[in-house]
Structure 1
């Protein structure tokens, strides 16, 4: 879309004239003083320039621009960089450089905003045009003055004073951070910035990848949204710093950089808003705010898409900045509302969102021309986002631990018998099967099955409530006698099971007898009457690592349990309150 189309959607001519009337009151002033190279090695030079914006749809040529400057129709810059707003008319800039030596130091002149569409620089020395440099992202990368993500070129300055005139035209934000640095200083700065961005992107990508893995593992949407939010921000940062455009899309023509910037800006803003809604679960306590956030994150991108279909970059760009600003303030509102509802760690979310919001607002205002644009204001958004990303990662870590604790409690509940609070059959199988798989060829083990004698009579006589109390007390006493490392569980009804690890059949005989006696000698009181309770016990196990002539490790656990059950049946039939053992081809009691 051409600049002429952009002009049609701007404020009225009356307001525009009023603006230039105000400028004209300030225009007649002494020119910006020259930049003395003897005291300057590197940095922003915005305070040394003067500028004016074209007031007609027909572009000015160099001679006309020089005449405007000579007539005093310009503004003297008072900040280190120029920021004039979005969708504004082309600007002419004048810089006077004074070289008081004969040393031909190589300098780099750069405008470190990658989305500026057309830039023309003119060197005028002794009233003669000695050099013209053309660039901007509207030019194919191979024809630019330097293979660089910004408009930049290297030059020397003759002795004396030379004027540099620069014309900038763009459909996006007119942010012009003008740098003049010695070539060596510029290279050093590039290297330093590379490390800075490497650290920032490394932190963000590591957190994003970690949370993406967690999302695939536990399938909780906040982890996936947070990962997308971080990846989106990194992509947006790579775009608006010109790194994607320089490497992947250098020849995609004018305005592509602008469309890519606002598209990626909207992407991370939308993902961030949905992440905040999901993490803080606002729909449970603030459904109105939750719906408002949802529609902001839906309607504005739809409006931008419509602007794209109509090739109206200006409208889409304004909507993108509105969404980005809404994203900032909604993050704070969502955090504060969650804090009011005492949502866990909501205060930390609110603090991080306020910090990031301040940084984003400063950077956005600088790009939009409301604040000076420099290294600090331009990169502050990344500092704020990195801080917020770390805090949010801590919050998600707490959410992950909370989820784990809930999962562990659920697992414990699923594996625990509700009445006795010992392992149930499922819990026993999970632990016992894991231990059984680790048995080596020479390992011994034994299974002990215990059954409360005449339990049906207890239920029939005293009721199921008292029967349950008997089961609970029997389980408590058996658990107190069981050794550390033994796996003890309620097998079902009035039956219990113990897996004795590293225990041969003789050692199992001794332990089974201890378990039986612990119940026989206990005092059980039912409805204020002392009632004798006994258990019958069946045992099956290995000797010297063998069971039925084969290594125990080669036998299934189910087989050992089955043989112990046969021994228990024999104990029941032999008079109860005794221990019976399964021996290959023989049984003994």
Structure 2
């Protein structure tokens, strides 16, 4: 007989054996595999809701052919299903008894009973679960766990699990040493993910109280709500705060904490993307979801219908993920700046949430990866959304700075207005006088400006103002501060410039203005300007005797000098006299 015929005969015989006896349950050699999630090594069966099996009856049932073998690392059967029995064969092939930790890493399961059977007799029995008082549990831990000393050879582990919530049973078996290491690693992972989200939440909460924009506050509530919800369904919150609040308390706590982050998250997305402006129907639908589904969950709580409330909670979770994507798509369609990144992070987070939710509900395999995907997805989304909010904050700050800058500028000439002059000149003034340096001001008035407006029109008058502003800008140094002081008046602050130097500069500007010629239908437009100058000179305005409040005085003195120019024929430059100084200082004192 050749090899091909031998292989065919062996395959036929195996198929024949399987058809008569079914697949034999695999055994876990704990010496070779000291740590695993044992779903694929576990057979299980469910009770009829009206009859609770004893251990003996369950063992008899497992010896029949009606039980099923797990297909994934964890066994997930759905929400509000009948109690389930599990059987796992454990082999200790060493010569010594070994300590192992056996755990079911789902905190919300209500009642879990465990038996270890060795050579036909029960050598250990424990009970725990969410319905058992914390101090009565085999290990005071966030989920059901106990430690067992397995003798040499084969032992059978039997578990009975009863719960109204999602029947997700990740049966974990590991040496005590490896179990402790896993706890430490898991704590670091959760601490890292929670740390990111809490830090971002607190930062944006501070921003909310600073800028009073609702999206920052809603984002903070969204993250804080999710962290608290995650702490709840991973059993950590229940362990710290509510360990003895009775059966089903954690189930209710978990689903109502879903409401907090889901509602805050959806309203945050509405505000961030401003959907009310361009997608009012979707915006209203989002509001309705945040009202109707939570109201149904409250009704379920009032009438103690946990299954109904659980269904609505998972519906809210799914709707939340779908609406996030729809909001992002609408924003992208209407070319909202934040839409693209929002859509990327929301699709990623929604995918992770749906996978985790489906794993808990029993639709996809439940394991370490699928269970923790929701935290990973939310952390990724939190970072992306924080980046979007930071962009918005920077944009708002830039808009604010632009508005402030615009408020300090004259819209016609682009020069500083009075407010802009004060903002720019005060620091320079204080620096100059404290360092004992020269400083001067020049006040300029366009001669007979009203005649220009009356004779050629206001548009030509505006051209004259812009032409004068252009001359002043061309003649200015980087340190000079130029402002349109009012109507047809201009003011220049000249740091490190004495009055004599300022007078020479003013004369050059006067000559350049005098040469300007503008065209108009009514003929050429020529005009002149008058200049009043005041600055540091030997005497009352010595650079070593200037005071903090002398800037206003110097401007008033320059105005007095300008008045003298107008009275004596215009188109001249006049520096201040000591008499002007004394008069202006006396006016300031009064």
Cα pair 1:481 1:518 within 8 Å, conserved: no
Q: Which residue of 2 aligns with 1:479?
A: 473
TM-superposed CA distance for 1:575, in Å, is 2.5
Q: Which residue of 1 aligns with 2:588?
A: none
Q: Which residue of 1 aligns with 2:462?
A: 468
TM-superposed CA distance for 1:127, in Å, is 1.9
Count of aligned positions: 563
1:74 matches 2:67: yes
TM-superposed CA distance for 1:583, in Å, is 4.6
1:253-288 deviations in Å (ceiling 9; x for gaps): 222211221122221111111112122222222211
Q: Which residue of 2 aligns with 1:229?
A: 222
Structure 1: gaps of 5 or more residues: 1-25
Distance 2:187 2:497 in 1: 64
Q: Which residue of 2 aligns with 1:563?
A: 557
Q: Structure 2 residue aligned with 1:431, among 421, 424, 427?
A: 424
Distance 2:87 2:533 in 1: 99
Distance 1:438 1:187 in 2: 66
Distance 2:578 2:305 in 1: 89
1:412 matches 2:428: no
Cα pair 1:545 1:552 within 8 Å, conserved: no
Q: Which residue of 1 aligns with 2:280?
A: 287
TM-superposed CA distance for 1:325, in Å, is 0.2
Cα pair 2:348 2:377 within 8 Å, conserved: yes
1:11-53 deviations in Å (ceiling 9; x for gaps): xxxxxxxxxxxxxxx9984452221112111121111111112
Distance 1:124 1:65 in 2: 13
Cα pair 1:442 1:544 within 8 Å, conserved: no
1:178-223 deviations in Å (ceiling 9; x for gaps): 1111112112222222222222122222322332233233332222
Distance 1:204 1:546, change over 3 A: farther
Q: Structure 2 residue aligned with 1:296, among 289, 296, 306?
A: 289
Cα pair 1:92 1:167 within 8 Å, conserved: yes
Please, what TM-score do these two structures have when normalized by structure 2?
Answer: 0.89
1:489-538 deviations in Å (ceiling 9; x for gaps): 11110011122234343443333333333312333444463443222222
Distance 1:373 1:422, change over 3 A: same
Distance 2:221 2:542 in 1: 60
Q: Which residue of 1 aligns with 2:203?
A: 210
Q: Which residue of 2 aligns with 1:3?
A: none
1:282-327 deviations in Å (ceiling 9; x for gaps): 2222211111111011111111122222222221111111011001
Distance 1:514 1:48 in 2: 98
Distance 2:525 2:357 in 1: 82
Distance 1:194 1:378 in 2: 15
Structure 2: gaps of 5 or more residues: 1-18, 583-590
Cα pair 1:581 1:587 within 8 Å, conserved: no
Distance 2:559 2:483 in 1: 15
Q: Structure 2 residue aligned with 1:196, among 177, 189, 200?
A: 189
TM-superposed CA distance for 1:543, in Å, is 5.1
Distance 1:543 1:235 in 2: 72
- Correspondence 1:245-394 to 2 at 5 A: 245-394=238-387
Distance 1:419 1:505 in 2: 30
Q: 3-state DSSP class of the match of 2:327?
A: helix
1:131-188 deviations in Å (ceiling 9; x for gaps): 1122212223233222322211222200111111111122211111111111121122
Cα pair 2:129 2:144 within 8 Å, conserved: yes
Q: 3-state DSSP class of the match of 2:36?
A: coil
TM-superposed CA distance for 1:86, in Å, is 1.1
Distance 1:525 1:200, change over 3 A: same
1:244 matches 2:245: no
Q: Which residue of 2 aligns with 1:148?
A: 141
- Correspondence 1:17-166 to 2 at 5 A: 29-166=22-159
Q: Please provide the CA RMSD for this pair.
A: 2.5
Distance 2:399 2:543 in 1: 46
Q: Which residue of 2 aligns with 1:14?
A: none
1:408-445 deviations in Å (ceiling 9; x for gaps): 33223322212112222222222233444556623443
TM-superposed CA distance for 1:224, in Å, is 2.1
Q: Which residue of 2 aligns with 1:580?
A: 574
Distance 1:62 1:188 in 2: 33
- Correspondence 1:529-548 to 2 at 5 A: 529-542=523-536, 547=541
Cα pair 1:31 1:76 within 8 Å, conserved: no
Distance 1:521 1:236, change over 3 A: same
Distance 2:430 2:224 in 1: 43
Segment drifting more, 372-381 vs 347-356: 347-356
Q: 3-state DSSP class of the match of 1:134?
A: strand
Distance 1:134 1:565 in 2: 95
Distance 1:321 1:547, change over 3 A: farther
1:452 matches 2:446: yes
Distance 1:370 1:230 in 2: 27
Distance 1:553 1:427 in 2: 22
Segment drifting more, 146-155 vs 75-84: 146-155
Distance 1:439 1:236, change over 3 A: farther
Distance 1:529 1:372, change over 3 A: same
Q: Which residue of 2 aligns with 1:10?
A: none
Distance 1:539 1:365, change over 3 A: same
Distance 1:473 1:108, change over 3 A: same
Cα pair 2:433 2:543 within 8 Å, conserved: no
Q: Which residue of 2 aligns with 1:8?
A: none
Q: 3-state DSSP class of the match of 2:443?
A: strand
Cα pair 1:441 1:545 within 8 Å, conserved: no
Q: 3-state DSSP class of the match of 1:147?
A: coil
